[in-house]
Amino acid sequence: MLWAEKYRPKLLKDIINQHEIKNRLKGFIEAGTMPHLLFAGPPGTGKTTAALVLINELLGDFDVFGRKEDQLQTNVPYLELNASDERGINVVRERIKNFAHLMAINAPFRVIILDEADSMTTDAQHALRRTMEKYSTTCRFILICNYSSRIIEPIQSRCALFRFSPLSEKDTKKYLQNIIKKENIAITPEGVDAIIYVSEGDLRRGTNVLQSSAILGKEITEEEIYNATGKAQPIEIRKMIKLATTGAFKDSRKLLLELLIKQGLSAQDVIKQIHREAIVMTDIDDKTKVEMIKMIGEVDFRLTEGSNPEIQLTALLAHLVGLKLNEK
């Protein structure tokens, strides 16, 4: 069983970090009702969990976490559709409409969760908006997406919007430490920090990285985390940037080739890490950072267009060396 599911919060009070959202959802639970909802935010920040917790507490007698997919829809006032299902207009006109128009049994209303709603076609969204309006007395919708801008305006206006933010390092560490303790995992403090670094506020990713690393049954170290996730150690990225900004082009390029060839990292991952580390480095002046960020954006675009990764990243290092030479 995936630990991300095993340790998923079952009650509203167990959800971490999203304090404002918890307070708003608590009001719906106390009132015993809710409007149509739109949850938007990055992956792994608790959108689906918050939706399940909300309807679990609202419906009361129905355990949505223990529900099986083969249960009859007529007996369960809850339906979840995700990206693995067909998301065309026919699904809205048939499956969703047939579920929404029926009165709930032993529950105030039915609930439909549409996960990754931003992947629905425009035609399907236009069909959905009428269904949401027509059957609002018997069914409420919870739409979950990464980008609310991809949801058409008529649907957005029918929903109460909740924006989820990436989890803080403090909350992520607390959650991971709870799993480490319960699963009796041997991991170094640097290993925990490495998981937090690679997860970037995505709690699901962090939990899955911890589980996959714990399979070997030995103490988890920082190096193992970065190797398992295909990421370079931040210290290596910072060293490469520092060498380039001080004019040591050959040494900087040598370190780049080690990352690309020996460690087998992708150019896209390397450029993202260069951007991430450049922002927080304190030993680079602001003028150099500005020029560096501009070049990173240009290189990232070229890589997306299919340019040679080694040439483009080498050109980035050469640009940084050029900034140093121009100062002289």
Tens digits of residue pLDDT in 70-110: 444 456 788 888 765 666 777 777 788 888 888 877 788 88
Give yes or no: residues 22 and 157 share one domain. yes
| Rounded distance between C-alpha atoms, residue 175 and residue 130, angstroms | 41
Give yes or no: residues 111 and 223 share one domain. no
Convert the pLDDT of each residue in 270-312 to its tens digit: 999 999 998 888 888 888 888 889 999 999 999 999 999 999 9
List the Cα angle 144/150/154 in 5-degree steps. Answer: 85
Convert the pLDDT of each residue in 7-64 to its tens digit: 888 888 888 888 889 889 999 989 888 999 999 999 999 899 999 889 888 877 566 6
Strands across the sheet containing 159-163: 78-81, 110-114, 139-145, 36-40, 159-163
Give yes or no: residues 83 and 213 share one domain. no
Q: Looking at residue 301, which CATH number applies to its domain?
A: 1.20.272.10
| Rounded distance between C-alpha atoms, residue 32 and residue 54, angstroms | 10
- One-letter amino acid at 118 equals D
Give yes or no: residues 26 and 97 share one domain. yes
Give yes or no: residues 145 and 60 share one domain. yes
Give yes or no: residues 11 and 159 share one domain. yes
pTM as predicted: 0.84
Convert the pLDDT of each residue in 99-126 to its tens digit: 888 887 778 888 999 988 888 888 888 8
Give yes or no: residues 101 and 183 share one domain. no
Give yes or no: residues 74 and 130 share one domain. yes
Final residue belonging to a domain, choices 193, 209, 229: 229
Give yes or no: residues 302 and 204 share one domain. no
Are the C-beta atoms of residues 119 and 81 closer than 8 Å to each other? no
Give yes or no: residues 221 and 322 share one domain. no
Total number of domains in the chain: 3
Spatial neighbors of 14 by CB under 8 A, at least 6 apart, are 53
Choose between 323 and 48: higher pLDDT: 48
Final residue belonging to a domain, choices 142, 163, 184: 163
- Residue 276 belongs to domain spanning: 234-327
- How many beta carbons lie within 10 A of that of residue 93, not counting itself? 15
Give yes or no: residues 13 and 119 share one domain. yes
Give yes or no: residues 51 and 21 share one domain. yes
- Tokens for 328? 């002289």
What pLDDT band is residue 328 in, cutting at 50, 70 and 90? low
| Rounded distance between C-alpha atoms, residue 135 and residue 64, angstroms | 22
